[in-house]
Amino acid sequence: MNRSFHILVGGVSALLIALFLVLLIGMLLELWQQTSLRAPHFSEIVFAARLSLITATLASAIALAVSIPVAYAFSRYSFPGKDLFDTLLDLPIVLSPIAIGALLLIFFNTALGRQLEHWFGPFVFEVRGIVLAQFVVVVGLSLRLLKETFQAIDVEYENLARSLGYNQMQVFARVVLPMARRGLIAAFLLTWGRAIGEFGATVTLAGATTMKTETIPVAIFLNFESVDISSAIVFITILITMSFAILLFVRKTEAYVR
């Protein structure tokens, strides 16, 4: 019986791993079979990779900075309509990114949206639009992860610190945040990974402009739309490599912090 169980568990795991390996191998074979390789310009690859790195880092850093106080508030305080607001903030996790992009584009067509563009500079069809679109897409995930992190910290630690004379800010900075460091790192890296692959909201708000708002997912889209499959595969390979590296880094960091 034990043997059957081990075979079942191991077999399903092996099949799932094989599925992803087959997908990767299939893509590399497709690239190999190209009779004449049409690779994108090196400068385009560097631009797209750099833009993706910068925007994803900014968007996830802002998402984390915003999520820390909000997640703490939702994990510690009770207030009227809390469930309703909590659900509202979860919406970006389930909403299709293209819907988020459309909402943002519609917003910037309102009087308030135009005023914000007047004060802070343009977002529509600009690089800042990428950061904003990625931020709105990933902030729900960041909030969800941090709420769980703060909820896992026993309130008694905070009460003890308060009884020893710390004020609320000191308790948060010296007790809660250090205890939440693993969750904070994991939340940042996972939102970063989600942001770097973001496409739907980005392309709707910031547009797909070569060498301007061309992140790696946008480059994949543009090359597929031009039926330039080998160039698309080059960008897919870069995205997979970057995503794999970040996920591996999350695992190693979690193990190190533990």
Partner 1 sequence: MAIHLGCGRADEDTLGSLTLFCGSASKPAMEEISARFERETGIEVNTIFGGSGTLLSQIELSQQGEVYLPGSPDYIIIANRKKLLVENSERIVAYLVPAIITPVGNPAGVRSLSDLARPGVRVGLGNPETVCLGLYAVELLEANDLLEKVMRNVVTFGGSCSKTANLAAMSQLDAILGWRVFHFWNPDRMAYVPIAPEKIPRISYIPISIPIHTKDLELSRSFIEFVLSPAGRSVYEDLGYITDLEAAKKLAPRATVGGEYTLPQEYFDLLEGLREQR
Cβ proximity to partner 1: between 176 and 236 the closer is 236
Shortest spacing between CB 224 and partner 1, in angstroms = 7
Nearest to partner 1 of 96, 167 (CB atom): 96
Distances (CA, A) of 152 to 19, 21, 60, 75, 180: 35, 36, 22, 9, 9
Least Cβ distance, residue 13 to partner 1 (angstroms): 30
- Least separation in angstroms between CB 36 and partner 1: 6
- The gap between the terminal CA atoms of the chain, to the nearest Å, is 35
Distances (CA, A) of 91 to 60, 69, 88, 95, 108: 17, 18, 5, 6, 20
* Spatial distance between the Cα atoms of 243 and 192, rounded to a whole number of angstroms: 9
* CB closer to partner 1 out of 96 and 109: 109
Rounded CA-CA distance 176/158 in Å is 7
Q: Which secondary-structure segment (H or E) carries 166? A: none
Residue 96, φ and ψ in degrees, nearest 5: -65, 135
Q: How far is residue 27 from each of residues 21, 112, 181, 242, 248, measured CA to CA in Å? A: 10, 46, 38, 16, 21
Q: Is 154 left (phi over 0), alpha (psi -120 to 50) or beta?
A: beta
> With respect to partner 1, which residue has the nearer C-beta, 57 or 253?
57
Contacts of 121 (CB under 8 A, 6+ apart): 128
- Measured from the CB atom, the residue of 50 and 252 that comes closer to partner 1 is 50
Q: In the complex, what is the shortest distance from the CB of residue 244 to partner 1, in angstroms, rounded to a whole number?
A: 24
| Minimum CB distance to partner 1, residue 12 (Å) | 29
Helix axes 127-151, 42-76, angle to 10 degrees: 40
Token code pair at residue 64: 């984390």
Q: Find the shortest distance in angstroms from Cβ 106 to partner 1.
A: 6
For partner 1, the closer CB: 127 or 171: 127
Query: Which CB atom, from 124 or from 145, has the smaller least distance to partner 1?
Result: 124
Q: Which residues bind partner 1 (CB under 8 A)?
A: 34-36, 38, 43, 46-47, 50-51, 54, 102, 105-106, 108-109, 117, 121-122, 124-128, 131, 203-204, 207-210, 212, 221-222, 224-229
Minimum CB distance to partner 1, residue 227 (Å)? 4
